[in-house]
Amino acid sequence: MSAEEFRRHGYAVVDWLARYWTDLDQRPVTPDVAPGQVAASLPERAPEHGEPFEDLLADVDRLITPGLAHWQHPMFLGHFPMTNSGPSVLGELLTAGLNPQAMLWSANPALTELEGVVCDWLADLLGLPASFRGNGVLQDTASAGVLVALTAALWRRGGEDWRRHGAGTRYTVYTSTEGNCSIAKAVRVAGLGEDRLRLVDVDHHAPAMRVDHLRALVEADIAAGNVPVMVAATVGTTSTTAVDPVAEIGELCREHGIWLHVDAAYAGVAAVCPEMRWIHHGVELADSYCVNPHKWLLTGLDCGAMWVTDQRALTAAMTTTPAYLSGSTAPHPAAVDLRDRQLPLGHRSRALKLWFVLRWYGAEGLRAHIREGIALARDFAAKVRADDRFEIVAPHPFGLVCFRLHADDATNAELLRRLTTSGELLLSHTDVHGRHTLRLATGGTATTSAHLDLAWRKITDIAADLLAVAPDAEAPRPGSAVGQPSAGLRVQEDLCGVEGGVHFGQ
């Protein structure tokens, strides 16, 4: 493809995306396709001869977009938002064209140093402690971050013995029953064995970690000869967006020399608003912290910001230096090798798109976006409370509202099924105190109050039909306005439950 061809077809792609965003609310939110249907529409083998680019773009319209779940649709309300924006896409386009490999400072000085700067900018915007400055990296997601943190924590506790003996020492890891499933996966991938993960009970008012139970588990492990190595606290759990008491957890970790990792994948960006900085109380005690700008901060997937305050432990855990990489970086404190802050050797640069977003919107624009998402959730929750057929089952400090009908689980499940199969909107569900609970998440780039009004009308219309034929409605439970915690994170992977339909994972 010549430069002139690239220019012409590039304009066509940008025009296609602009038209897609403009017309998105006219498309079904989710596709009406069966598993294997899209694959069956494609040739069995790659073409022998090249094809015109116009045909490629036409086949995106014909074969691909009809089978998409449109995460940028204003009525895609079932998951935490996966926001995107024009400046992010253009930054990604430049990154794709440059195709940089930023594993070493010497391999890419400008983008390595830009990444450090934008991580510092973001830490400042979120009100994170000064100890985070200079210690940031952009991972793909917070899931990678928890595994990196665990690896560094194991090295700090076990050093070279960890490298030699691995899981031979009985290291233990702790998170709440509401902690994200990526924590259990990290324990498994690190080779510790899932029996080394301790699930801490949560409070009954808001499903946040109980520090008294954490202390009991830690002390029991120490007495049994086990070695507590890491606690993963959560700011904004996946199921209900509960916030763990990070300060109290951090004090306990300091007392016993345990690494504290804070997972703020979704909710952390809310702290760009000064009135939301309460969520970071105690974060100065954290050894590592992760947040995903690609969720709620208008930056396209993937972009997971991570800070590790103990760079010595991180570098010792991550560095391998074969001859072909030795001596490639000058011994200078500003010459950071990003390969030493992540699992892969190669580093995909994500700094340009985040830089573009931070500069295009500015702190003021980002705060406006977050505040709008919180306000939309608050207004939606008010509608739910005002209708005595429904209840709110968990606090909603961010952009997620957990609610249900005063009816049995089967009726609530049927409400969700009809909503998600209509193609008009997407909700998801979780399990709160053993009860089927619907989840609606605001914060999408294009979602407005008009879209939530439309969603509420659809919800209440279907609810009226269901209650007309349902068994006697369940009576409100005492204290149900805030709800009870689930026994564990059980956001179902099968959100539609329609045989032959499409299943959307969390």
For 464-478, write each residue's pLDDT tens digit: 999 988 655 565 554
Q: What is the mean pLDDT of the chain?
A: 89
pLDDT of 485: 33
Q: Are residues 176 and 260 in the same domain?
A: yes
At 237, which CATH number?
Answer: 3.40.640.10
One domain, residues 48 and 124: no
Domain boundary among the residues 67, 87, 120 is at 67
Does some domain include residue 467?
Answer: no
Q: Are residues 138 and 276 in the same domain?
A: yes
Last residue of a domain, one of 266, 295, 318: 318
Is the pLDDT score of 94 beyond 60?
Answer: yes
Q: Is residue 134 part of a domain?
A: yes
Q: Is 330 exposed, middle or buried (0-12, 13-18, 19+ CB in 10 A)?
A: exposed
CB 229 within 8 A of CB 263: no
Give the domain extent around 57: 35-67
Q: 392 has which bridge partners? A: 403
Does a structural domain hold residue 195?
yes
| Residue 468 belongs to a domain | no
**Mean per-residue pLDDT, 386-410:** 96
pLDDT of 164 higher than 50: yes
Q: What is the pLDDT of residue 501?
A: 29
Does the global pTM surpass 0.85?
yes
In a domain, 105, yes or no: no
Question: How many CA atoms within 13 Å lie on the side-chain side of 358?
Answer: 21
Nearest of 79, 75, 7 to residue 430 by alpha carbon: 79
pLDDT > 50? residue 400: yes
Q: How many domains does the chain have?
A: 2
Instruction: Identify whether residues 190 and 60 lie together within a single domain.
Output: no
- Residue 479 is encoded by which pair of tokens? 């204290």
Burial 127-166 (b: 16+ CB within 10 A, else e): ebeebbebbbbbbbbbbbbbbbbbbbbbbbbbeeebeeee
Is residue 486, in this structure, part of any structural domain at all? no
Residues 134 and 42 in one domain: no
The mean pLDDT of 375-388, rounded to a whole number, is 97
pLDDT recorded at residue 335: 82
pLDDT, tens only, 189-223: 988 888 999 999 998 778 899 999 999 999 999 99
Whether 91 maps to a domain, the answer reads no
Do 54 and 193 reside in the same domain of the chain?
no
- The token pair at 155 is 């090295």
